[in-house]
Amino acid sequence: MLGPPASGKGTQGSLLSEWAGIPTTSTGAILRKEKQEGTEVGKEADRLTRDGNLAPDDLILKVVRSWLERHDGAFIFDGFPRTLPQAEGLEKILEKRSTPLHRVFLLDLSMETIRERVRRRVVCSDCGKAFNLGVHVEKLEEPCPACGGTLERRRDDSEAALERRMEVYREKTLPLVEFYEQRGVLTRVPADREAREVFEDMKKELQS
């Protein structure tokens, strides 16, 4: 799944994973977990990404290869690939596994909605799930609705970091749209809607 910050990639990943019975992972969530565990990868990624920049391609490809070593069969990636070198790296990995890339979804939404969602977003430092202030919880101090863990704001959800993330998204990630259009696997999904409606569109596409 490709999409700007707060386009709902994580939410759709969970819904698709549950429906299709295949695992989902997010490179962003892997990096946050590494940081929480205090690993060298986590520390390096935090230092490089807290201002809204991307982590280096070789680090991301290493993290993805290591995840794939532990997962056979089909899978869903959320927020990977995010650059052309990552997409090319993924193509090589998939060739070796003899598994084709079935579909790429581009979650499309307005800048206004992105800002509003980022302002409201909190994440659980224990289970990694994201929630909206004023919708799922009233205050940051409340326990995580899913696991009772501690909720926090993401460091890269500040206004300055969001502007940088949008710049990076336009510059590095949007070229992937053409890359995957040329391969005939891209589907655009309007994501300014309820998560369930977005999911139904994706499901239909996968069933067709």
Contacts with ligand AMP, residue ranges (CB under 6 A) = 5, 26-28, 31, 49, 54-55, 60, 79-82, 86, 156, 165
User: What token pair was written down for 38?
Assistant: 């205090």
CA 54 from centroid of its chain's CA atoms: 12
Q: Which residue among the candidates 121, 153, 155, 193 is catalytic per the annotation?
A: 121
Is residue 82 part of the annotated active site? The answer reads yes
Q: How far apart are CA 171 and CA 191, in angstroms?
A: 21
Q: What is the DSSP code (8-state) at residue 104?
A: E
What's the CA angle centered on 7, arms 71 and 128, to 5 degrees?
50
Residue among 163 and 200 whose Cβ is closer to ligand AMP: 163
Is residue 121 part of the annotated active site? The answer reads yes
Residue among 110 and 207 whose Cβ is closer to ligand AMP: 110
Q: Which residue among the candidates 115, 119, 120, 154 is catalytic per the annotation?
A: 154
Q: How far apart are CA 136 and CA 138, in angstroms?
A: 7
Is residue 9 part of the annotated active site? The answer reads yes
Residue among 56 and 149 whose Cβ is closer to ligand AMP: 56
Catalytic residue positions, numbered: 9, 82, 121, 154, 165
